[in-house]
Every structure is written in C-alpha cells, then in structure tokens.
Structure 1
C-alpha cells in the first residue's frame, strides 16, 4: 500500500470492552472493527490493560494494526466542579512496572468508589447490590454498567434517569495528579493524550494556554475528534495541536449497548485526519 492510500485508512483509537465498562469482549470488538473496515484501532479500557493480549491476537488474524492503550482519570481539583479529566495512553508496555502501578492504584480506587456508591443506593432503598453488578460485568465495572442494571431491573425507566440517580448519590474517587499520570505513561514508553477536552469544562479560548502548560509538563497529544465534539471543538483543537506541535488522535469512545448512541467507527476518521500516522506501521 502506498503512503497516499495508507493515509486514507479508517481508524478508531478510543473504545471500551467488557474489561472495563463496555459490552463487547476484546475479541468481539476487534472482529466488529474488521467488519467496519477499520485498519488501525486502540482499546482504551478504563484503568486496565487486561484485554490487550487477546485483542492483539485477534487483530493479527484480522489484519488490523492494534495499538495498546488505556484511559485513566486525573485529579480535577484545579478545574470547574463538573469537569472530568481523562488521559489516554498509547503504545504502552503493558508488562512495565509503571503500568502495573497505575492499574493497581486505579483498580483499588474504582472498587472503593463502586462499593460506596452502591451502598448509598441500597441505603436509599434501591434494589441493587455490588455482587449483582460484579457478577454481570466483572470486577472492573464502571458507572455505565450500574446504569444498565438499574434500567434492566426496572428500578428506573431510562438510562438518563439512571445517570441522574447515580449523580445524586455519587462518591468522589481518589485520583492521581495528571503530572504523575504523564510520568508513569512515559515510563511505560507510552504517549499521554488528553481525552475529549470539552469535558474539562474550560472555554475554548483558554485551550492554548492550558495545553501549553500541559505540554511543558509532559503532554504529547490531544484527542481532537470524539463523538461529543462539535465542529467548533474540532477546529479549535486542530489549531491548538498545530500551534503547539502536539500529536492528534481521535475515536468514537464506543462502549457497546452501555452507550447505545455511539457506534464503533461512526466518525469515519481517516489516518490523514490525525497527526498520528507516523507512529503506526500502516
């Protein structure tokens, strides 16, 4: 394949499996990617890399280039109260001590948060139990899995109402400072990338100064294309990565039926849309 046609291949660099809060297994999601003619993908499960090895095996058989990834949540104490600060790590060495340290920390804090959240729901009279969620979705389940069970058990009629209920009883989760996350990802030979920047809840006209500071502290890329991004978001982020010579990535953030409005590959991202192709073997 020549360099021109390589740039036009379909990619999706943000998706979740049953190893975190998605509903497709690693093998299933790779086969789904193949059926949608995706040529470069990354599974970015929350706080775990347990699905990577299986995905690598299936991707090799399907002729897909697979990039080992992870998504973790950073401390937001310096951001607006409703902000979320998610960081993606790409090309990570999943056997490195740094990734094992990162996974262990976040697995413990996720379990603690989940137990306290479900305990609060139980105390409020809702018929949902930690063991029920864990038996259906595994130990590393997330809030979308709790939402799914709330709806399936008819405790609430819609996912929107279930998310509102969880928000009412939410538990603050212990998180790492973003600089520590950058350090650990780099120690694992990874590339740290800020995921879906609009969830940072900062105005677009502050992006340049914000990402300038993060670049000085180890950031290497920004997710410019995502299912929640508006065209204005994409253009603003393209300008920032160009100005700061950062890498750009993009992905759907597919979770299976836990986020039914998001389909794998739905954004029709081409490798040429991203400043990331030099790191792939395509």
Structure 2
C-alpha cells in the first residue's frame, strides 16, 4: 500500500482540481490518500465517490488552522474521519469568514500597488472555498509582476511582520480546536511540527494525550525535529504518519502526490478503534 495522509486541492489553496488529484494518485500507485483541505470539508463527499470509481481509498479530513497563544505562534491540526463533521462546521466557517474578509482587504491593497484588475485575482480563486495568497501571486505572475510563487514579491506583500498587503486572519486557539475535534469524534494529528516551530506544543499535546499521531514524514520537517518526533511517538504510543502536503503548483517544494507516505502498520494504528 502507498498511503499519503496530507493532500490539498483547489477547494482550498491547492492548484489541482479534486478529479485530477484522484487520477494522479491512481496513476502513481497511491492506494489511499487523505483529503485535508484547509478549514473546509467541502470536497470530501465527492472525493469518496470519485475515489471508489478510480480504485483509490479516500480518507475524509480537514487541516484546521489554529492559534497557539502560549507560544505566540500558530499550528495546524489534521482531523481525520470525524464521525460528527457537522460539529466542526461553525469553527471552520468562522475561520473561512475571517480569511475571506482579510483577503478582500489584501486584494484591494495589491490592486493599488500594481496595475492589475481586481477581477483577475478573484478569477484565480474560482473553484476554491476562499481567496488565498497563492491566487494573488498567480495573478501577479500572469500579469508579469512576479517571476515565482514564493519569491521577493510574496515576501514584500505577505511577510507577517513587514508585508504591505498582509492582513491578519483570526484563528481559533489550539485548545478550542482540540475540543472541537474531540466533540466531532475525529482523529487528531499535529501537522508538520517543524513548519511553525511547534515542537514545544507537540510535547504539550503528547503529555495531555490530545493527539493520536505525529506527522513525522513531511517535506518541511527538519532531521533534528524528526528524531525527537519519533522518540515522542514511541514514548506516548502515537502513530507516525507521513504526508506530502500536496498543493500542486501552489507550493515551495513541488512534490508529486505520494512522495511522503505512511507505513501500513502506522495507518492501522492511527485508525484502530
């Protein structure tokens, strides 16, 4: 089996439509993948049906954005197979609304900085549940103002401290997210702990038995952090997962689906009742 437990589509900030992701997974021999779009489960029902037709098992899920106020940072929680997904909807909708309002303000700033029609940016977001920075950069690249997705123009606009088009999105705090996942009877895994320097948060979540697994095999985890993640997984009897964090064109490291995977034994451990 080839199991990729972290994939995004055009429903959030991926460039690839769901149908094409499933086709790519099948052609690359990925037998199972998790659909984990940011703060939305809009594609899950369709993905299950399309997956059956293509001979690919789809795990319904969502990657939930969270604030980590204790460490003045943020974190992402992968929630798999919630038995009561409707419980998550108010929390996800609140984030969606905040992101949409923030990005509309950001788009207006970008259009004042560059001679580009607002509609050109919004058109790049069609098919998504929201507007993302990647849509803005794609429009700027198409218009000739940027040469790459995450280069100097991205930093100029969206650096969280100095970006001139940066607008803050309000995220629920990590405890609220974990409580919602528990109430929805979902399976929680901390995504890419290295990405947001979340190792201290990981230790806390492990001590408090709030997660069922750690995403160890991910393109942006450091070797040093991975070694500790494996020690923590063994100490707390947690599943060790892997996911490509596939975004298609909308990512810094453009890895095909199925590049980072989860061992079958760890998959069984994560989803055992």
TM-score range for the pair, normalised by the shorter chain length: 0.7 to 0.9
CA distance in structure 2 between the aligned counterparts of 1:11 and 1:97, rounded to whole angstroms: 26
Please state if 1:200 is matched with 2:196.
yes
Q: In the alignment, which residue of structure 2 is the partner of 1:102?
A: 91
CA distance in structure 1 between the aligned counterparts of 2:216 and 2:270, rounded to whole angstroms: 17
Q: In the alignment, which residue of structure 1 is the partner of 2:146?
A: 156
Q: In the alignment, which residue of structure 2 is the partner of 1:122?
A: 111
Q: In the alignment, which residue of structure 1 is the partner of 2:75?
A: 85
TM-score (norm 2): 0.87
Please state if 1:22 is matched with 2:10.
no
Q: In the alignment, which residue of structure 1 is the partner of 2:120?
A: 132
Conserved 8 A contact 1:74-1:181 = yes
Unaligned runs of 5+ residues in structure 2 are none
2:234 to 239, 242, 246: 242
Secondary structure at the aligned position of 1:133 is classed as helix
Distance 1:147 1:196, change over 3 A: same
Q: CA deviation at 1:107?
A: 1.2
1:222-265 deviations in whole A, cap 9, x for unaligned? 21111112333322211111112223221011111112622211
CA distance in structure 1 between the aligned counterparts of 2:52 and 2:263, rounded to whole angstroms: 19
TM-score (norm 1): 0.84
Secondary structure at the aligned position of 1:151 is classed as helix
Q: RMSD between aligned alpha carbons?
A: 2.2
CA distance in structure 2 between the aligned counterparts of 1:39 and 1:238, rounded to whole angstroms: 25
Unaligned runs of 5+ residues in structure 1 are 1-8
Structure 1's consecutive aligned runs of 4 or more residues displaced over 4 angstroms after TM superposition are none
Conserved 8 A contact 1:84-1:199 = no
Secondary structure at the aligned position of 1:263 is classed as coil
CA distance in structure 1 between the aligned counterparts of 2:217 and 2:60, rounded to whole angstroms: 19
Conserved 8 A contact 2:6-2:34 = yes
Q: In the alignment, which residue of structure 1 is the partner of 2:179?
A: 183
Q: How many residues align?
A: 262
CA distance in structure 2 between the aligned counterparts of 1:29 and 1:158, rounded to whole angstroms: 23
Q: In the alignment, which residue of structure 2 is the partner of 1:220?
A: 212
1:113-146 deviations in whole A, cap 9, x for unaligned? 21122122233345252x4333232341322222
Please state if 1:211 is matched with 2:202.
yes
Q: In the alignment, which residue of structure 1 is the partner of 2:256?
A: 263
CA distance in structure 1 between the aligned counterparts of 2:117 and 2:155, rounded to whole angstroms: 16
